[in-house]
Amino acid sequence: MSASASDQLFARAQQLIPGGVNSPVRAFRSVGGAPFFTRSAQGATLTTVDGRELVDFVCTWGPAIHGHNHPRIKAAIADALERGTSFGTPNPYEVEMAELIVSFFPSVQKVRMCSSGTEATMSAVRLARGFTKRDKIIKFAGCYHGHSDSLLVAAGSGALTHGYPDSAGVPAAFARETVVLAFNDPAALDAAFAANPGQIAAVILEPYIGNVGFIRAEPGFLQHVRAATARAGTVLIFDEVMTGFRLSRGGVQELEHIVPDLTCLGKIIGGGLPVGAFGGRAEIMDHLAPLGLVYQAGTLSGNPLALAAGIAQLRLLDEVKPYARLDALGSQVCAAAAAAAKAKGLPLQTPQCGSMFSLFFNENPVRDMPTALASDAKLFGRFFRACLDGGVYLPPSAYEAWFLSTAHEGPAIARACDVITDAIAGL
């Protein structure tokens, strides 16, 4: 039997690229088997190089809220491309995107564009340290804020999937400046402030976690974090790279009525192209060079193609107002999975908000990293492979959030629910 086109590509890739992939979770190590390679994507569907069509619940890890290859976004990129790919000077798209972000997120008075979520979180932490003249930061176990050294401690996402929550190559001295706490534990936060008086520059968190599976903040937790940081003169950073624009027009901070000091954004504001941004109170943002002493720069920051795509995506969000529809789709998938698990006698948790959710094979509610890790990852691997065999692509890890798009409405969601139900029944 001859190797598939994906297998042939993966064999070639492994000779040239570490692990054969350019982002670790793509390697399928935790779910078994070899990854497929995608030839094209349209709407809610990926088409592999072998011609298989798969209903996609990854949505390029969040950006594709209108589905893949949306004609409005594609046209915006084509129009921008006629003018050039990159200028190395300010361009009009930067101003328009800044105006849109400020209008969507009232907590953001000024914003700086960059090229990835990792750049956004790294820069926000540096800015908080420069603003407060303090060194220590607090993060929460399972929250993944990109792969910069200060933040790759007790991280989620691929670091968790591959069993390396603390990466080699991160100096111990850097890790000592990062205090790691349990999510949804206000007492632990209070104790950390008491143990480090006047030393905490920033608290950074995903307000709803997406990188150890999807976990919502419990009632009152984020409000407690906001009050504690305000008392301590500590900068509160919301990492809404995943949740921003996806769970509501103004992210989790709109849903929870919280005003953070700084917000990190990405994913959706690039329309599928590489992008990041961080913004917040003008008093803090004005500490950035060239106005202040906190240095941050990037050759491709504010890239016209990425911002043209993002502007089209944000304007489309305001036109179609998709959030109630997306929430209904998420509820439909979770309800179908829960019913199948109950019929099979399998414990299943289905935390969901809007178009983000997860399925945890777990007897108990998942509220933090330890309870997420108590889930049955091997059973999830079997479930993943059964869904893939049935034509549905899930995140290839038990510890990642799932994503939906408006393109899933109709036949795609019905087909996916059938496959998911059958996969659970077959476990």
Residues with a catalytic annotation lie at 144, 239, 267
Angle of the 186-195 helix axis to the 221-232 helix axis, nearest 10: 10
User: Measured between alpha carbons, how far is residue 294 from residues 123, 132, 136, 180 in Å?
Assistant: 9, 11, 17, 25
Whole-angstrom Cα distance, residue 156 to residue 178? 15
DSSP per-residue string spanning 161-178 = HTT-SS-TT--HHHHHTE
Whole-angstrom Cα distance, residue 251 to residue 213? 18
Buried b (16+ CB within 10 A) or exposed e, 85-96: eeeeeebebbeb
Whole-angstrom Cα distance, residue 370 to residue 160? 12
What's the length of the chain? 427
Q: Which two tokens stand for residue 171?
A: 């100096």
Yes or no: say if 215 and 176 are a contact pair by the CB < 8 Å rule. Answer: no
Q: Which two tokens stand for residue 70?
A: 């949306």
Compute the chain's Rg from CA coordinates. Answer: 21
Q: Which of 286, 2, 304 is nearest to 127 (CA)?
A: 286
Angle at 204 between CA 285 and CA 296, to 5 degrees: 35
Query: Beta strands of 304-413 (E only): which ranges?
Result: 352-353, 356-357, 392-393, 402-403
Find where tokens 């500590």 sit.
Answer: 234
Find where tokens 């804020």 sit.
Answer: 145
